[in-house]
Homo-oligomer: A and B are copies of this chain.
């Protein structure tokens, strides 16, 4: 699995990744760095996807990936500092959902993470969040600083993409 990083000039808290005419569909919400307010936004995103007839599997995958991204933003990024914020952007269309989660921390290098699936690491308690995001999303892209991540999930029920694009092989697609 690999991570694609946004080029530097699109750095932290820049504009949303898509500047096409459809960019007006982006919503932006800043919430205090805590689980409860972040989860309200998550619930809104999922409700939106449910209305647009995303599959149950898509909803499971999105919930899981957004949870992991938010947890990392609160814990690793903002280091549980209640004075910091999380910046969430999302764009939901009938065929794809993009969710950007940014924190106010110093970021990290996702390419340097150890592989938690190696036998002798199986009994280590942590380090599986990013693995799960990558496995369940169509694409997981960190910005250059590492303090923002864009999750993308296609609606598996949307005809145009049916068969063409499947979750679980994010390395095959890179778009921004």
Contacts and interface: CB of A to CB of B under 8 A. Distances in A.
A131 B125 CA distance: 24
Number of copies: 2
Interface residue SS majority, chain A = loop
Interface string A108-129: 0000001000001101111000
Contacts of A124: 120-121
Contacts of A120: 121, 123-126
Interface in A77-132: 114, 120-121, 123-126
Interface of A: 114, 120-121, 123-126
8 contacts: A114-B114, A120-B121, A120-B123, A120-B124, A120-B125, A120-B126, A121-B124, A123-B123
